[in-house]
A and B are shown apart, each in its own frame.
Chain A
Amino acid sequence: MSATEHARPMGGPLLDRNMKVLLVLFAVAALVVVYRFATGIGPVSNMTDGYTWGIWEPVNVVVFTGIGAGAFGVGLLCYLLNKGKYHALVRPAVLVGAVSYTLGASSIMFALGRPWNAYWLPYAPYWNLSSALLEVAVCVLAYTIVLWIEVLPSILEGAAASRYPKLQALGASLGPRLQKLMPYVIALAILLPTMHQSSLGGLMLIAGPKIHPLWHNALLPTLFLVSCLSMGYGAVVVLVNLLNVTWKARLDQELVAGMSKVNAGLLILYLVLRLGEVVVHGKLRYLGANFATLLFLFELALFAAPAVMFLLPAVQRDRGRLFGAALLTLAAGAFYRVDTYLTMYRPSGWTDGVANAAGWNYFPSMGEMVVTVGMAAVGIAVFIFISRAFPVVVVDETRASNPSRS
Chain B
Amino acid sequence: MRISRRDLLKGAVAAGAAAAVSTDAQARAPVPARPNAVGMLFDSTLCVGCRACQQACKAANGLPPDPAHAAGGVYDAPADLNSSTKNVIKLMSEGGQTQFMKQQCMHCVDPSCVSVCMMGALHKEGEGKRSLPGARPEKAGTGIVMYDKALCVGCRYCQIGCAFNVPKFEWRDPLPLIVKCELCRHRGDEKKSGPLAVANPACCEVCPRGAVIYGEREALLAQARARVAARPEAYNAHVYGATEGGGTQVLYLTAKDVAFTQLGLPSLPEESSASFSESVSHAPYLMGVTPVALYAAMAFVIHRNQKRDAHTTGEGQ
* B contact residues around A1 at 8 Å (CB): 313, 315, 317
Is B120's beta carbon under 8 Å from chain A? yes
Is B153's beta carbon under 8 Å from chain A? yes
A residues apposed to B, CB below 8 Å: 1, 37-43, 47-50, 52-53, 79-80, 82, 84, 87, 111-115, 117-118, 120-121, 125-135, 137, 153, 176, 179, 182-184, 186-188, 190-191, 194-195, 198-199, 202-210, 218, 220-221, 345, 347-349, 351, 356, 359
Is B2's beta carbon under 8 Å from chain A? no
For chain B, residues 67 to 85, give those with C-beta under 8 angstroms from any C-beta of chain A. 80-82
Q: How far is the CB of A8 from chain B (nearest CB, A)?
A: 14
Out of A79, A132, A195, A349, which one reaches B277, CB within 8 Å?
Answer: A132
Report if A206-B298 is in contact (Cβ < 8 Å); known contacts: A87-B317, A114-B175, A133-B116. no
Report if A112-B281 is in contact (Cβ < 8 Å); known contacts: A129-B23, A134-B119, A210-B160. no
Q: Are A113 and B155 in contact (CB-based, < 8 A)?
A: yes
Report if A187-B165 is in contact (Cβ < 8 Å); known contacts: A52-B160, A118-B153. no
Q: How far is the CB of A396 from chain B (nearest CB, A)?
A: 19
* A contact residues around B150 at 8 Å (CB): 117
Q: Are A129 and B26 in contact (CB-based, < 8 A)?
A: yes
Out of A48, A127, A187, which one reaches B119, CB within 8 Å?
Answer: A127
Q: Are A131 and B157 in contact (CB-based, < 8 A)?
A: yes
Measured CA separation A127–B177 after assembly (Å): 20
5 new A-B contacts at CB < 8 Å, known A126-B119, A133-B118, A356-B266: A40-B173, A113-B170, A203-B160, A348-B266, A351-B267
Measured CA separation A130–B308 after assembly (Å): 41
Number of A-B contacts (CB under 8 A): 196
Measured CA separation A218–B280 after assembly (Å): 6
Is B159's beta carbon under 8 Å from chain A? yes
Q: Are A190 and B157 in contact (CB-based, < 8 A)?
A: no
Q: Are A132 and B152 in contact (CB-based, < 8 A)?
A: no
Q: How far is the CB of B27 from chain A (nearest CB, A)?
A: 12
Q: Top 6 closest A-B pairs, CB basis? A: A113-B154, A42-B171, A114-B154, A187-B299, A205-B277, A183-B303
Q: Are A128 and B172 in contact (CB-based, < 8 A)?
A: no
Q: How far is the CB of B243 from chain A (nearest CB, A)?
A: 15
* A contact residues around B151 at 8 Å (CB): 117, 120, 126
Measured CA separation A48–B169 after assembly (Å): 8
Measured CA separation A209–B246 after assembly (Å): 14
Out of A49, A115, A203, which one reaches B157, CB within 8 Å?
Answer: A203
* A contact residues around B165 at 8 Å (CB): 49-50, 347-348
Interface string of B269-286 (1 = CB under 8 A from A): 000011011101110100
Measured CA separation A209–B162 after assembly (Å): 9
Among A47, A134, A191, A206, chain B packs the most CB atoms within 10 A around the CB of A206
Report if A40-B172 is in contact (Cβ < 8 Å); known contacts: A80-B302, A84-B309, A349-B163. yes
Out of B80, B276, B284, which one reaches A208, CB within 8 Å?
Answer: B276
Is B294's beta carbon under 8 Å from chain A? yes
Out of B120, B153, B264, B306, which one reaches A112, CB within 8 Å?
Answer: B153
Q: Are A79 and B302 in contact (CB-based, < 8 A)?
A: yes
Q: How far is the CB of B195 from chain A (nearest CB, A)?
A: 28
